[in-house]
Structure 1
C-alpha cells in the first residue's frame, strides 16, 4: 500500500473533527481524502474511518484513511482492520496488510489469533504483514509458521518473508519445511537457493 504523504495543503485547517468526519462520505473523492488526512490524531474519528475502509471505492481516499489509522497504531485500529485480511477484494487485503505492517505497537497482540486462523488465506496475509513489520520478534514468528503451519502455501509465504532476514539458525527449520512439502516447487526452489549461503555462514 502506498501510504499518503502528508503535506501542508493536504487537509483544511479551519474545520473541526466533527465536520471532517461528515466529509468522509462526501460525493467528491478529493474532499473525502482531505478529510481523512485532516483527522490525523483524532482518536474519536476511528470508528468513522474504520467504517469507510471497506466501502471506499477511490484508492487514493482509501490510502489516506489507512494512513491516518496507521499513525494511531492502537488496539482498536488493528482489531478493526484485521477482518479485511479475509476480504474477497485483493486490493483491499493487500492495502490492509501493508497498513498493519506499519503498526508494531498493536499488531503483535493479535498474532496468536491470526496465526491460528482456520482460513489459510488469512495466515498467508499474516505472513505478508510480518515480512515488513518493524518488530524484533518478526523472525521468530515467521520461523514458527515455517515450522508448524500445515498448509504449504502458508509455509511458502512465510519462507519468502523469512529469507531476507534468515541466518544460520534458520537452516534446520528451512530444511524441515522442504522435507514436509517435497512436492511444492516454489518452496523447494526457495529453500534450495538460500541454504548454501546460510550453511556457509554457519561454518
Structure 2
C-alpha cells in the first residue's frame, strides 16, 4: 500500500465526522479521498471506513482509507481488514497486507489464527505482513513459519521476508527447511545463496 502523504491544507478538517463519513460515498473520488484522510483519529468512523475498503474502486481513495485505518491501529480495525487477505482481488489483498504491516499494536494478537489458517494463500499474505511489521517479534514469527509450515510456497514467502532481518541464528532453521522440501529447487537455491552471508555476519 502506498501511504498517502497528507498535505497541510488537507489536515484542517472542514466538516464534522458524520458529514465526512457521508462523503465517503461522494461521486467525486477527490471528495472521498479528502474525507478519508480527514477522518484520521476518529475511531467512531471505523465501521464506515472498513465498509469502504471492498467497495472503493479508486485506488488513491482506497489507499487513503487504509492509511487512516492503519493509523488508528485498533483491534477492531485489524479484525475488519484480515478477511480481505483471502480476497480474489490481488490488488486488494496486497493493499490490505500493506495496511496491516503498519499496525504493530493490533496485528500480533491475530497472528496465531493467521499462521494456522487452512488457506495457504492467507499464510503467504501473513508472511508479507510480517516482512514490514515494525515489531521486535517479526523475525521470530517468520522463523516459526519457516520451521513449521507444510506448504513450500508459504515457507518460501517467509524466507523471502526473513532474509533482510536474518542473522546467524537462523541458519539452522533454513537448512532444516531444505531438508523438509528436498525437491523444491527454488527453495534450495534461495537458502544456498543466503547461508554464506549469514556465516559472514557471524564471523
| Offset of residue 12 of structure 1 | 5.9
Question: How many positions carry a matched residue from both structures?
Answer: 203
| Offset of residue 11 of structure 1 | 5.5
| Offset of residue 198 of structure 1 | 1.5
| Offset of residue 196 of structure 1 | 1.4
Q: Any conservation in 2 of the 1:146–1:174 contact (CA below 8 Å)?
A: yes
Aligned to 1:149: 149
What does 1:1-203 align with in structure 2 at a 5 Å threshold?
A: 1-10=1-10, 13-203=13-203
* SS of structure 2 residue aligned to 1:9: helix
Q: Any conservation in 2 of the 1:12–1:34 contact (CA below 8 Å)?
A: no
Q: TM-score, normalised by structure 1?
A: 0.97
Q: Any conservation in 2 of the 1:124–1:154 contact (CA below 8 Å)?
A: yes
| Offset of residue 187 of structure 1 | 1.0
- In 2: Cα distance, 1:201 partner to 1:17 partner: 51
Unaligned runs of 5+ in 2: none
Q: Any conservation in 2 of the 1:20–1:35 contact (CA below 8 Å)?
A: yes
* SS of structure 2 residue aligned to 1:5: coil
Unaligned runs of 5+ in 1: none
The CA RMSD over aligned residues, in Å, is 1.0
Q: TM-score, normalised by structure 2?
A: 0.97
- In 2: Cα distance, 1:10 partner to 1:119 partner: 40
Q: Any conservation in 2 of the 1:156–1:187 contact (CA below 8 Å)?
A: yes
- In 2: Cα distance, 1:159 partner to 1:115 partner: 15
